[in-house]
Structure 1
Amino acid sequence: MKKKFILILCVLLSHWAAAQNIFKAKVINDETKVAMKGATAFIPDLKISAIADTSGLIIINNIPNGRFEIEISYTGFAKSEKVYSFPMQYLNIPTVVSLGPATGELAEVMVQTTRTNQNLRDVPTHIEALPLEELDEKSTMRPGDIKMLLGETTGIHVQQTSAVSGTANFRIQGLDSRYTQLLQDGMPLYAGFAGNLSLVQISPLNLRQVEFIKGSASTLYGGGAIAGLVNLISKVPEKAPELTLLLNGTTAKGADASIYYSQKWKHIGTTIFGAYNYNGAFAPGDGSFTAIPQTNRIAINPKFFLYMDEHNSGWFGVNTTYENRFGGDIQVVDGNADNVHQYFERNKTFRFSTQLSFTHKIDEESRINFKNSVGYFHRDFEEPGFGFKGQQLSSFSEVNYVRNGEKASWVAGANLITDNFTAVPPQNNLNYHQTTLGAFAQNTYKASNWLSMESGLRIDENIPAPVKPSNGLFILPRLNALFKISGHLTSRIGGGLGYKMPTLFNDQSEQEGYQHIQPLNIGNTRAEQSFGLNADLNYRNALGDEAFININQLFFSTRVNQPLILQNNTFINAPGHLLSQGAETNVKLVMDELVFYLGYTYTNTRQYFSGTNSTQPLTPKNQFSFDSTYEIEGSFRFGAESFYTGPQLLSDGTTGKGYITFGLLVQKMWKHLDIFINAENLTNQRQTKWGAIYTGSITNPDFKDVFAPLEGTVVNAGIRIKLLN
């Protein structure tokens, strides 16, 4: 009897052991196909759970035979709930589970600017991102450029640099545009001589995400990222082909036509973007000068992608833009010049750049990346009695190593940046040449569940070197910390050093049209050096089943020593420092199909020169923004927005008036067709309504600072046709 009992027990035990199954799944982001480290799997009936590793792999052991529902979730993404039968047919092949952004929830995004492709909520650096859904809305508001996209972002102020040509630049946290970097796919393409025409020559239709770092970002991106940077991330081909055509017209005599095509095959893929943008000379309210210049622009941007195997991939792209921008006295632009009406500004530009990126994946945790871009930019600027033309040839090359571990992630690499500007006689004394060789390393360490640290160090050598004490060598440390105080409350604190080499190309030179500007003697001019601090609190929580709220409060402070100023047509180092301090408040409330957004920026930028203390011109202290959107996904969208820009000191000592603008958007979507109509500045705020935009005579005008819109109310309408999507 005893032997029979033991035999039965052994049979039962062997049957029980054989019934213990294993579930393997790899969790990826449905849009980016990036592995989702930290995703959670849960079997409700068995009360068993597991967490994905760095490769997105989840393994659950000891599952008995039978059918069980397995829930796979990740914060900000829609949950996967599926029933699996055990034993499974293919035990050693992980099931691929794709998670898409949760509808109505504050969906998380993966960021690339830190180079580690981490989830936004896990990055110690303060980063903001505009995902594809928001870019889709912005592309219907202004398809021809990204001025609106940046200008509506908290903490960023777009400053128009010409009263008649529409050129503009952007400032982060109250600092001039020369302290910011504009990148495309992590590569600097729009610096120097090309800077003030960048915002008006880039279309949002070709972008899938825009990322912002506010505050020092010099560790990874070198000199010039004192105030922060904007990284424009281009679309990549997906398995499903896409062919989109957008046609748009405006009441300000504008017309836009854009086309985007992408497709991915097994080993190759391609994206092709092309656009033609036209604007007739527009001077509202019987104005004497163009608020919007006569513009003809054509852009072509093809890219070729190669997927050799699971370890090697890369892409190569070309960016070509030609533009003829003609502004000034409206009679001159219309061909009716006479002895009185003579003033004009003409900008003819040609941009050609190449981009190359290659990635070798060593294993699931590490990879080597190589990037290169070469850019050529030619600009011919002309006004009565004066002309300035030249070409800029620049290059960027970088190799870096990235390792994403359980506790620590590393980024280390080196890059070479060259910038050469050659002016055409007689202004060839303004020639500029700069070479920068840099090496950097950055570590992100998860010390515990509530604390992550990000530390970095960069060393740059510049040739030619500025005057002592730096002598062209800069050592730039940086430190950031992320505190997860609770499941709903987090905080980031960080700071770092930065620098900016002396250059002629900035907002002041652009406003002067480079006329009478004296050559820059780098050997007798110090580099501008900075120290910046940022601290924020972020609260996010669900309000019931259908509502979510996100509140972010950011504080910032940046000091720039001996900033470059224009004095008697010569750039010199100011005897003192520049200090920019302030705060940003962002509130986002999602209630099912209804979204509310509120933003506030307080900026106090002061100049401490020669023992005096004064406010920096063209820096509004107070800016408010409000945006509300009602959207039925894939069917209908309605949006309303309002912006307040407070009074600001102008260069002539007067104060520019504060103003409020208001806009509306209505969009109807079908499977293959969108129709939209958008109205901007419905309050018809125009600087020319409050006084003349210039002093002197109309023949030889001296233009004032531009601090408010010049074009007034503008309505645009159009269609977007999605033929293959």
Structure 2
Amino acid sequence: MIMPGVYVSSQPRTAVLRMLLVLWVVASFAIANAQQNETGRLSGAVVDAATGKPLPGVNIILKNTVLGTSTDLNGEFHLSGIRRGTYAVMASMIGYKIKTYENVSIAPGSPVILNFKLEQSFIETSPVIVTASKKSKSLAETPNSVSVITSADIRKRNSFDIREALRYAPGVSFVGGQVNIRGTTGYSRGAGSRVLLLTDGVPTMPGDSGDIKWDVVPFTVVEKVEVVKGAASALYGSSAISGVLNIITKEPSRKPTFSVRVSGGMYDDPRVSRWKWTDKTLFTNQQDLYFSNTFGNLGVILSGGRRNSRGYKQNTQFLRWNLFGKSTYKFSNATHVTFTGSYASDDHGETLLWQQYLGEPIQPFRVPAQESKNTILSTKLYLNSTFSQLVNQNFAHKLKGSYYRNRFDNDFVDNQDFSKSQRFRLEYQADVEPSIRHSLTLGVEGMYDIVDGSFFGRRKAYILGSYLQHEYRFSDRFSSTVGLRFDYNKVLDGRTEYQVSPKFGIIYNVSEVTTIRGSVGRGFRAPSIAELFTNTSASGFQVIPNPELQAESSWSAEVGLSTSIAGHILLDTAIYQERFFDFINPSLSFQDSLVVRFRNVQDARIRGVETNLTTSWFRDRLRTVVSYVFVDPRDLQTHRLLTYRPQHILTASLSLKPGPFELGMDYRFASKLKREQLEVFPDDPRVATKVVDARAGVNFGPYSLVFNVENLFEYNYTQIERNLEPTRKFSVNWQADF
């Protein structure tokens, strides 16, 4: 019994928790070791069917279990701990057709050798993804629409970060630097995102602004980015209201790998001579180093980079630094721990509006004189550790702990505001395959935020969540997914809210190359600390708090079809609708100045059609990718179009690879916004987005050289009023891989 007023130390409780954790780990090792003696083994090799050369890094999956591995430098693999039975074994690798051996019999004491010959696939019909189900699944087994951007897509576009490649991902667009999936996000400067960013499955969003910081993970360490479309809160909770971006980082290489990357470029002068704002050459430059190797059971990745730009218009200069490290230690084939760390610094100028004085011509490359030295220094620190274990072929679990610190300091003419946030997160996930027809994913997680600064005051918040997903296979062709998540969100000095997020999905494989999918689910987004408590002013705008702001929620549904034609054409199309409730939007009013306050102002509906067409010819020497999205975004109270959401979005890419050379061209189009879709200056002139990017490159041995031109025809356009988008930019990138 604890008497009132008596202080009880937390040290005994901490010691008990540590003891329980140690006992859990020891028991898991003991169970796993005991079961190894009663099981069989599978080994083999994977080679290229055309050349016979071994293929390292091929994913080997024992279907309907949680067992899997990858091939080593010699293309060989080994799987142990397999119970007696008959299985299907799948081998998959980007750029090759998936191959599956059915009816493979495994028995204790009788090792099985299985060799694969993989054929090149120039159209990726069903890549293995992990985001949609929180575990590895082929795309044909996923009820959601998913797009994948590879490291090659990022590398050839010579980006400062992954956004340049994401602009051409099917269904993805950007408005004022903010990511939109099928037009759902719109624009809200520096406060909240309706798309959740993950890094290796771990949410990577700051606890104060709740928006995406693109420089946290450098693109040099990115293996691929998976884009899951539609509400995903049934697995991921808040902010996954409209979709998920999962940055999957590279695994440590099995032999020493060292890369050097150097890039330089410049922005062109404006097409209109009177818009020229400086006589200086507007240079950009980047330098990156990357190292990876495995020392016994320890794999290591180290990366560092620097990015510097004078900017294409006044006060858009920046200097960015980043450091990244990743290490994986394997206690055994079934148990390993991974540590990831990243630090990023960004010192940049800040512009809100171009210079426009009464009675004078506009100067879209200049800012008002009093704001020409406004800068922001932003630093981010991200740490994560993951303990993973395959206890047996039907049960695997992992424990993830992460820390994210975000700090930014304004150096503005009218404020010196700052904010520092810390986010602590812990998650336990278990994957269970109780039978060949059933598959379960379940887990619990908690997040705790501490925010301090002049922007928001001192704030604390926490979210507790639990989730369960069940997949049932009626047959080899037909399966269903049912999921449910419960979240408890508490903001001190704010609201307490409960959220229940269900989902349901079905998949029907008509044939090996044609899949029909359907899904419906609920999503939600808790308001960020910035939306609740911001109290500041800048450039004539005053932002005031609203601590009574509620979470916004949605119901998302889609039906889609994916099919491959003659091995050269891949067609994917989907009809979708999202119904939003208590939509969070900045509301403007005019008092002594322009006042901004976030409110639950709308019930909204966004529906449309997405169609993607990929073709490959002449053994992938010629490839085209075309994506079109029609968006109908409506405020259901006023029946007007939602702001900052183009109704027609089109992207097209062409790639030609004659020998060691590569030529490419990208085009993106977004229709002109209607007058009712502008928030601040609705009478400003508007144009559609019509941008062409071009590139030419050559690969010679370990070296590559790429020349890029962004905005080839120097098209002038805005997405947000009085904010001109980048003009033409030339750049050259040289990379050496050893």
TM-score (norm. length: structure 1): 0.78
CA distance in structure 1 between the aligned counterparts of 2:493 and 2:367, rounded to whole angstroms: 48
Once residues 408 and 466 of structure 1 are traced to their aligned partners in structure 2, the CA distance between those partners, rounded to angstroms, is: 44
Q: For residues 307 and 201 of structure 1, do their structure 2 counterparts lie closer, same or farther at Cα, with a shift above 3 Å needed? A: closer
Distance, in Å, in 2 between the alignment partners of 1:330 and 1:116 is 47
Q: What does residue 667 of structure 2 align with? A: 642
- 2:347 alignment partner, SS class: strand
Aligned twin of 2:30: none
**What CA distance in whole angstroms lies between the structure 1 residues aligned with 2:302 and 2:152?**
18
Superposed CA deviations along residues 300-352 of structure 1, whole A, max 9, x for unmatched, are: 01112101112210111211111211245999xxxxx9995653331101111
Alignment correspondent of 1:312: 335
Preserved contact between residue 415 and residue 538 of structure 2 (Cα < 8 Å): no
Could you tell me which residue of structure 2 aligns to residue 239 of structure 1? 254
Is 1:109 aligned with 2:133?
no
User: In structure 2, the residue corresponding to 1:141 is in which secondary structure?
Assistant: coil
Task: Choose 190-199 or 447-456, whichever is displaced more.
Answer: 190-199
Distance 1:339 1:664 in 2: 33
Q: 1:575 to 1:295 in 2, by over 3 A?
A: closer
Q: 1:276 & 1:297 partners in 2: Cα distance?
A: 6
Alpha carbons 1:549, 1:587 under 8 Å: kept: yes
Which amino acid is 2:629 matched to? T
Give distance in 2, aligned partners of 1:213 and 1:54: 33
- Report if aligned partners of 1:663, 1:680 keep a CA contact under 8 Å in 2: yes
Secondary structure of the residue that 1:136 maps to in structure 2?
helix
When residues 677 and 408 of structure 1 are mapped into structure 2, their CA distance, relative to the original with a 3 A threshold, is same
CA contact (8 A) 1:27 1:57 kept: no
Checking the alignment, whether the CA contact within 8 Å between 1:38 and 1:56 is kept in structure 2 is: no
Q: In 2, distance between residues paired with 1:227 and 1:513? A: 30
Cross-structure match for 1:183:
198
Name the SS for the 2:640 alignment partner. strand
Q: Matches of 1:445 and 1:511 in 2, distance apart?
A: 52
Q: Does 1:625 align with 2:651?
A: yes
Q: Which residue of 1 aligns with 2:572?
A: 552
AA aligned to 1:320 is: Y
What secondary structure sits across from 2:608 in the alignment? strand
- Equivalent position of 1:402 in the other structure: 431
Distance in 1, matches of 2:533 and 2:716, equals 23
Match in the other structure for 1:541:
565
Distance 1:407 1:662, change over 3 A: same
Q: State the SS of the aligned residue for 1:251.
A: strand
* 1:687 to partner: Cα distance: 2.7
Contact 1:266 1:307 (8 Å CA) reproduced: no
| Aligned counterparts of 1:512 and 1:35: Cα–Cα separation in 2 | 56
Preserved CA contact (<8 Å) 2:233 2:239: yes
For the residue of structure 2 that corresponds to 1:619, the secondary structure is: coil
Q: Contact between 2:290 and 2:301, CA under 8 Å: does it hold in 1?
A: yes
Q: How far apart in 2 are the matches of 1:171 and 1:192? A: 21
1:150 aligned partner, one-letter code: L
CA displacement at 1:58 relative to structure 2: 12
Asked if the contact 2:41/2:82 (under 8 Å) is kept, the reply is no
Q: Distance in 2 between matches of 1:171 and 1:342?
A: 29
Output the amino acid matched with 1:447: F
Match of 1:566 in 2: 586
* Equivalent residue, structure 2, for 1:49: none
Determine helix, strand or coil for the equivalent of 1:179: coil
Structure 2: 5+ residue stretches without partners:
1-39, 48-54, 65-77, 101-107, 186-191, 268-282, 356-365, 590-594
Give, as a single letter, the amino acid of the residue that structure 2 aligns with 1:93.
P
The CA deviation at 1:619 is 0.7
AA matched with 1:704: E
TM-superposed deviation, 1:199: 2.6
Alignment check: 8 A CA contact 1:23 1:59 kept = no
Q: Secondary structure at the match of 1:664?
A: strand
Deviation at 1:376, TM superposition (A): 0.8
The answer to whether structure 1 residue 123 and structure 2 residue 142 are counterparts is yes
Stretch of structure 1 that moved more, 567-576 or 111-120:
567-576
Distance 2:414 2:447 in 1: 36
Tell me what 1:4 maps to.
none
Question: Residue 260 of structure 2: SS of its match in structure 1?
Answer: strand
Q: What is aligned with 1:322?
A: 345
Please give the alpha-carbon distance, in whole angstroms, between the structure 2 residues aligned to 1:172 and 1:506.
21
Rounded to whole Å, the distance in 2 between the matches of 1:36 and 1:443 is: 20
Change (3 A) 1:675 1:195: farther
Matched residue pairs, number?
623
Contact 1:53 1:406 in 2 (8 A): no
User: Does residue 711 of structure 1 match 2:737?
Assistant: no
Q: Match of 1:94?
A: 112
Q: Match of 1:438?
A: 465
**Cα deviation digits, residues 176-209 of structure 1 (max 9, x gap):** 2621101111111234545556135543221001
SS at structure 1 position matched to 2:164: helix
Give the structure 2 partner of residue 174 of structure 1: 183
Please state how far the C-alpha of 1:255 moved relative to its aligned partner.
0.3
Partner residue in 1 for 2:403? 374
Report if aligned partners of 2:59, 2:92 keep a CA contact under 8 Å in 1: no
CA gap of 1:234–1:56, structure 2 versus 1, over 3 A, is farther
Determine which structure has more spread, i.e. the larger CA radius of gyration: 1
SS in structure 2 at match of 1:226: coil
- The structure-2 alpha-carbon separation of the partners of 1:483 and 1:444, relative to structure 1 and needing over 3 Å to count, comes to same
In structure 2, what residue type is equivalent to 1:601? V
Superposed displacement of residue 579, structure 1: 1.0
CA apart distance, 1:570? 5.6
Match of 2:391 in 1: 362
Instruction: Write out aligned runs for 1:592-671 (5 A).
Output: 592=619, 593-609=621-637, 612-631=638-657, 635-648=660-673, 649-651=677-679, 652-654=681-683, 656-671=686-701
**What letter is aligned with 1:209?**
K
The letter of the residue matching 2:391 is I
Give yes or no for contact 2:123–2:570 (8 Å, CA) kept in 1. Answer: no
CA contact (8 A) 2:252 2:327 kept: no
CA offset at residue 504 of structure 1? 4.8
1:670-709 maps to which residues of 2 (within 5 A)? 670-687=700-717, 704=721, 706=723
CA distance in structure 1 between the partners assigned to 2:330 and 2:302 by the alignment:
18
Instruction: Give the stretch that moved more between structures: 554-563 or 199-208.
Output: 199-208
Question: Which residue of the partner structure matches residue 460 of structure 1?
Answer: 487
SS of the residue corresponding to residue 438 of structure 1 reads: strand
* CA shift in 2, pair 1:572/1:671, >3 Å: closer
In structure 2, the residue matched to 1:257 is 287
Amino acid at match of 1:190: M
Structure 2 residue aligned with 1:42:
none
In 1, Cα distance between equivalents of 2:391 and 2:92: 27
Is the 1:181–1:191 contact (alpha carbons within 8 Å) kept by the matching residues of 2?
no
CA contact (8 A) 1:504 1:520 kept: no
Let me know the Cα RMSD of the aligned residues.
3.7
- For residue 334 of structure 1, what is the aligned residue in structure 2? none
SS at 1:460 equivalent: strand
1:492 is displaced (CA, Å) by: 1.0
After alignment, is 239-248 or 213-222 more displaced?
Answer: 239-248
Give the Cα–Cα distance (whole angstroms) in 2 for the partners of residues 428 and 419 of structure 1. Answer: 13
> CA, structure 1 residues 710+428, in 2 after alignment: closer, same or farther (shift >3 Å)?
closer
Q: CA deviation at 1:56?
A: 9.9
How many Å separate the matches in 2 of 1:474 and 1:267? Answer: 42
Please tell me whether residue 493 in structure 1 is matched to residue 518 in structure 2. Answer: yes
Give distance in 2, aligned partners of 1:60 and 1:415. Answer: 36
Partner residue in 2 for 1:577 = 603
Change (3 A) 1:511 1:182: farther
Tell me the amino acid that sits aligned with residue 34 of structure 1: N
Q: Give the structure-2-normalised TM-score.
A: 0.77
Gaps of 5+ in 1: 1-21, 40-51, 62-70, 82-89, 161-167, 284-288, 332-336, 694-702
Counterpart in 2 of 1:164?
none
Q: 1:34-49 counterparts in 2 under 5 A? A: 34-37=59-62
Conserved 8 A contact 1:169-1:199: no
Q: Give the distance between the partners of 2:231 and 2:368, measured in 1 at CA.
A: 51
| Change in CA separation of 1:573 and 1:137 when aligned onto 2, cut-off 3 Å | closer
Question: 1:489 & 1:79 partners in 2: Cα distance?
Answer: 15
DSSP-derived class of the 1:491 partner: strand
User: Deviations for 1:103-132, whole angstroms, at most 9, x for unmatched residues?
Assistant: 42426422121222112222233322223x
Alpha-carbon distance in 2 for matches of 1:185, 1:230: 10
Shift of 1:525: 2.9
